[in-house]
């Protein structure tokens, strides 16, 4: 492909602008939902486009415009023709690019380190791709395709992605309201949902009119699904300037010859014609003031093409795929972020001139991807990355892309979870058989998993330059790591697998829960303003999460005490129960210390941020509840109101208190701690609390009835007194 001269390209757009009919330029849609309503589906209600360039022309506002030419006058979706799955008068929102490409690339590793501005932070494209697929489908892969392979298909072969079932609809009522047959997998393709877009937009508009705190689960799900479809469509249009478009259909062979276009195709891209900018500009200058009757068919076709190029360049839809840095002055003048999408570059002649090299590289990469040319694809992406090293050196020098790519590809939390599962199974096997090699194997597996777990946490700290406790998702791995460290400390002195069992159990539970919230918190985005303080993140938030960790560990050990007390054993059982009870007591003391310090520091932070130390915010009340419950249990133990059994039961209930304070109060959706809120956890939280209360009740009744006081097979007699003080 020829590289267009940037000066000639700008001249062409200026000449085309002089020929284009006057129109009111629409504002670029912003990220807010209201503008999404105004921009995305406005054109979808228009009739499908008619004939392409080269048809007879008629005078429009004094300038030649093709009769029946696809509407490009301000339509941000120009060139999106009726697809095979369109219906009625509504054309498909997926690009109508033309013939399916002969092949596309499977190896897209060159894209991994492409910088993308997303959620206020520069991320490598692999992180962006994983986040978007998580957001759409709740998964980081689709069938056998990785997230970045899916993203490459959305960018370069969008016409082939309509059948990908990547849209998760959690609530079946939403699918039924859209007239879509509910799927067992709860995942749908764009083609399956496209016919229901007008209905979905209507529902989303109604839901958006309701205050956030008053929306029900169905309304929130409608907004989430609609937002994902908007994002999907916008992503598929990222490189529309580089992909074939029906508005750039060239029918006359002499036009293709004059413009030195590929002779064996009739549909071209905006950038293909830009490559012939000098020839087009020369013809436009030669036409001068000659009237319509004096123009040749070739000249008429070139005029139509030039007008389509200008109008389309002004109405290309901005994409969330922001990969071009612009100067602070340009960003301030346009109200755009510091990085913009290709469409926003093409729309401004000065920026098109300044970034022609990078735009050309992406055009070449798109063509190479569609034709399956690996070396050419890698070369074009490398050319873009080389240009970025010069343009955005300072910004990129502050990132840790190689580490972040390794983190995303390595998936440390996943592998830590796998090893924790094996360690937990090994612990159970050890308790059943008492074979020492099983204990050693479990310990080795667990320590390997913990090392990988710590690597994940440390990597996030380095990448984000802050403690990894700023979202609900991040707190789970961090709390798990602290709990596990405390459990390993206990195991170091006990060496009877109690600490190892508790640590494995906590690792499995907390990392499994973290996976549930990955779509909301695994994006490593910039902080909300109130959290943007490394000092307070390193003190208040860390102390509070350490308090959570200790209380959860105490609850886990309390479970072990109760189960051990309910199971018949030998003469050593009372001593073992006393040892476990000491672990519960010590861990609760540790939890009280850090919970109290963290709560006090939180009050100081609240005074600095909001002008008051305490406001009875649900999150503040939750932190206070943990402190109060720990104080109650420790004082009751000290004064003899409860003993070992009561401490074990109290520690299990303390874990319920922590879960309610940690993320249960978030379900109220009120208070100044609204950041980090999540929906959809209420049922699971209530099931957890109910099951724990049931376990406590069964354990209390069982111990009262003397379960576990009978000797095991071949064991000596055990009286209830030998189990230690009960309450």
Q: Which of 38-42, 60-64, 288-292 has the lowest mean pLDDT?
A: 60-64
pLDDT, position 47: 33
Looking at every residue in the chain, the average pLDDT score rounds to: 80
Q: What is the pLDDT of residue 2?
A: 57
Confidence at residue 189, expressed as pLDDT on a 0 to 100 scale: 94
Q: Is the pLDDT of residue 692 over 70?
A: yes
SS3 151: helix
Q: 270 or 335: whose pLDDT is higher?
A: 270
For 125-178, the pLDDT digits (tens) are: 999 999 999 999 988 999 989 999 999 999 999 988 999 999 999 888 899 889
The distance between the two most distant Cα atoms of the chain, rounded to a whole number of Å, is: 115
Sorting pLDDT into bands at 50, 70 and 90, what band is 78? very low
Asked which of 340-349, 395-404, 499-508, 595-604 is least confident by mean pLDDT, the reply is 340-349
pLDDT in tens, 116-129: 998 888 999 999 99
For the ranges 202-211, 344-353, 683-692, the lowest mean pLDDT is seen at: 344-353
Say how many residues make up the chain.
727
Which residues, at least 6 apart from 184, have a Cβ–Cβ distance to it below 8 Å?
A: none
Looking at the DSSP bridge assignments, the partners of residue 267 are 249
> Collapsing DSSP states into helix, strand and coil, what is residue 307?
helix
pLDDT at 55: 36
HSE toward the beta carbon, residue 10, CA cutoff 13 A: 12
Task: Specify the pLDDT at position 20.
Answer: 52
What's the pLDDT score for residue 410?
93
Mean pLDDT of 32-61: 37
Q: Give the confidence band of 537 by pLDDT, cuts at 50, 70, 90.
A: low
The yes-or-no verdict on residue 23 having pLDDT over 70 is: no
pLDDT digits (tens, 9 = 90+) for 615-640: 778 888 888 999 999 999 999 998 98
Count other Cβ atoms within 10 Å, centred on residue 566: 14
The predicted model gives 71-90 an average pLDDT of 38
Could you tell me if residue 324 is left (phi over 0), alpha (psi between -120 and 50 degrees) or otherwise beta?
beta
More reliable by pLDDT, 306 or 233: 233
Least confident of 35-44, 186-195, 484-493: 35-44
How many Cα atoms within 13 Å fall on the side-chain side of residue 576? Answer: 19
Q: What is the mean pLDDT of residues 707-726?
A: 53
Summarize pLDDT for 640-683 with one digit per residue, the tens. Answer: 899 999 999 999 999 999 988 887 776 665 555 544 444 556 77
Question: Which residues neighbour 514 within 8 Å (Cβ) at sequence distance 6 or greater?
Answer: 413, 473, 476, 477, 480
Q: How far apart are CA 601 and CA 225, in angstroms?
A: 39
**pLDDT over 50 (residue 50):** no
SS3 223: helix
- Structure confidence at residue 5 (pLDDT): 57
**Residue 287 in this model has a pLDDT that exceeds 90:** no
The per-residue pLDDT for range 435-484, each reduced to its tens digit, is: 999 999 999 999 999 999 999 999 999 998 888 877 778 888 998 999 99
Q: Would you give the DSSP letter of residue 30? A: -
* pLDDT at residue 91, as a whole number: 63
Query: For position 727, what pLDDT does the model report?
Result: 44
Using the predicted structure, report yes or no on whether residue 68 has a pLDDT greater than 90.
no
If you write DSSP's letter for every residue of 255-314 in order, what string do you get? HHHHTT--TT-SEE-HHHHHTTHHHHHHHHHHHTT--GGGS-HHHHHHHHHHHHHHHHHH
* pLDDT (tens digit per residue) in 181-230: 888 889 999 999 998 999 999 999 999 999 877 888 888 899 999 999 99
* pLDDT at residue number 446: 95
The percent of residues in the chain predicted with pLDDT above 90, rounded, is 36
In this predicted model, which residue has the larger pLDDT, 46 or 641?
Answer: 641
Quote the pLDDT of residue 368: 93
Poorest-confidence range of 13-22, 357-366, 412-421, 564-573? 13-22
Of 185, 181, 180, 112, give the one whose Cα is nearest residue 143: 185
Q: What is the pLDDT of residues 364-389, one digit of tens each?
A: 999 999 989 999 999 999 999 999 98
Coil/strand/helix, residue 253: helix
Cβ neighbours for 437, distance < 8 A, ≥ 6 positions apart: none
Residue 88 or residue 316, greater confidence: 316
394-403, 459-468, 591-600: least confidently modelled range: 459-468
Average pLDDT of span 321-333? 80
Three-state DSSP state, 187 = strand
Residue 270's pLDDT band, with cuts at 50, 70 and 90, is confident
- Rounded CA-CA distance 128/513 in Å is 22
The Cα 91–Cα 85 span in angstroms is 9
Range of lowest pLDDT (164-178, 222-236, 239-253, 509-523):
509-523
Q: Regarding predicted confidence, which is higher, 697 or 328?
A: 697
Q: Token pair for residue 205?
A: 């508009």
DSSP tag of 716? P
More confident residue, 329 or 112: 112
Give the per-residue SS3 of 36-83.
Answer: HHHHHCCHHHCCCCCCCCCCCEEEECCEEEECCCCCCCCCCCCCCCCC
Over residues 8-37, mean pLDDT: 47
Q: What is the mean pLDDT of residues 95-101?
A: 71
Cα–Cα distance for residue pair 696/266, rounded to 1 Å: 75
Strand runs labelled E in 75-173:
115-118, 121-124, 141-142, 145-146, 167-168
The torsion angle over the Cα atoms of residues 98, 103, 105 and 106, rounded to 10 degrees, is 120
Section 98-111 average pLDDT: 79
């Amino acid at each position: 492909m020829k590289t267009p001269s940037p000066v000639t390209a700008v001249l062409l757009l200026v000449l085309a602008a002089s020929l284009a009919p006057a129109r009111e330029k629409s504002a670029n849609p912003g990220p807010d939902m209201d503008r999404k309503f105004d921009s995305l589906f406005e054109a979808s209600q228009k009739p499908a486009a008619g004939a392409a360039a080269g048809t007879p022309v008629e005078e429009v506002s004094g300038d030649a415009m093709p009769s029946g030419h696809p509407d490009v006058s301000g339509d941000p979706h120009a060139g999106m023709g009726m697809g095979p799955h369109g219906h009625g008068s509504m054309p498909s929102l997926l690009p109508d690019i033309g013939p399916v490409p002969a092949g596309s690339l499977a190896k897209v590793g060159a894209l991994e380190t492409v910088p993308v501005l997303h959620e206020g932070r520069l991320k490598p494209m692999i992180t962006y791709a994983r986040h978007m697929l998580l957001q759409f489908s709740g998964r980081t892969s689709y069938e056998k395709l990785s997230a970045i392979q899916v993203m490459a298909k959305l960018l370069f072969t969008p016409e082939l992605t309509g059948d990908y079932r990547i849209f998760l609809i959690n609530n079946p009522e939403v699918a039924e309201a859209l007239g879509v047959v509910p799927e067992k997998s709860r995942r749908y393709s764009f083609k399956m949902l496209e016919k229901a877009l007008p209905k979905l937009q209507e529902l989303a508009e109604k839901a958006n009119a309701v205050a956030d705190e008053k929306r029900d689960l169905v309304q929130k799900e409608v907004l989430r699904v609609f937002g994902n479809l908007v994002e999907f469509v916008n992503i598929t249009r990222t490189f529309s300037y580089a992909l074939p478009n029906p508005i750039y259909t060239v029918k006359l062979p002499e036009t293709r010859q004059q413009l030195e276009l590929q002779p064996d195709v009739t549909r071209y891209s905006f950038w293909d014609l830009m490559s012939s900018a000098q020839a087009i500009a020369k013809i436009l200058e030669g036409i001068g003031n000659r009237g319509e009757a004096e123009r040749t068919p070739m000249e008429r076709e070139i005029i139509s093409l030039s007008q389509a190029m200008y109008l389309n360049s002004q109405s290309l839809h901005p994409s969330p795929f922001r990969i071009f840095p612009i100067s602070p002055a340009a960003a301030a003048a346009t109200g755009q972020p510091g990085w913009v999408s290709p469409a926003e570059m093409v729309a401004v002649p000065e920026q098109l001139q300044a970034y022609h090299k990078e735009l050309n590289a992406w055009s070449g990469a798109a063509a190479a991807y569609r034709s399956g040319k690996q070396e050419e694809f890698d070369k074009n992406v490398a050319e873009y990355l080389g240009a970025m090293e010069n343009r955005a050196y300072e910004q990129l020098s502050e990132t840790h892309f190689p580490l972040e790519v390794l983190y995303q590809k390595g998936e440390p939390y996943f592998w830590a979870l796998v090893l924790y599962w094996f360690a937990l199974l090994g612990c159970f096997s050890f308790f059943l058989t008492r074979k020492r090699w099983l204990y050693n194997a479990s310990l080795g597996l667990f320590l390997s998993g913990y090392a990988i777990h710590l690597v994940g946490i440390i990597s996030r700290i380095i990448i984000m330059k802050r403690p990894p406790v700023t979202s609900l998702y991040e707190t789970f791995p961090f709390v798990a790591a602290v709990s596990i460290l405390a459990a390993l400390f206990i195991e170091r002195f006990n060496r009877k697998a109690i600490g190892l069992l508790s640590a494995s159990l906590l690792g499995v539970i907390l990392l499994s829960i973290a996976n549930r919230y990955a779509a909301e918190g695994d994006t490593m985005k910039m902080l909300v303003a109130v959290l943007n303080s490394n000092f307070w993140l390193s003190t208040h938030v860390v102390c509070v999460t350490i308090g959570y960790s200790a209380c959860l560990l105490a609850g886990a050990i309390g479970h072990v005490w109760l189960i051990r007390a309910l199971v018949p054993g030998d003469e050593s059982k009372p001593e073992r129960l006393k040892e476990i009870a000491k672990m519960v007591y010590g861990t609760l003391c540790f939890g009280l210390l850090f919970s109290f310090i963290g709560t006090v520091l939180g009050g100081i932070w609240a005074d600095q941020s909001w002008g008051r130390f305490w406001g009875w915010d649900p999150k503040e009340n939750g932190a206070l509840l943990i402190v109060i419950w720990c104080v109650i249990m420790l004082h009751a133990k000290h004064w003899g109101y409860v003993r070992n059994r009561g401490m074990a039961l109290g520690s299990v209930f303390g874990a319920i208190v922590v879960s309610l304070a940690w993320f249960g109060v978030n379900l109220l959706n009120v208070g100044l701690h609204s950041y980090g809120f999540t929906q959809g956890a209420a049922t699971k939280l209530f099931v957890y609390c109910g099951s724990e209360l049931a376990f406590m009740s069964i354990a209390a009744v069982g111990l009262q009835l003397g379960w576990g006081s009978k000797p095991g097979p071949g064991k000596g007699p055990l009286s209830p007194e030998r189990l230690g003080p009960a309450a």
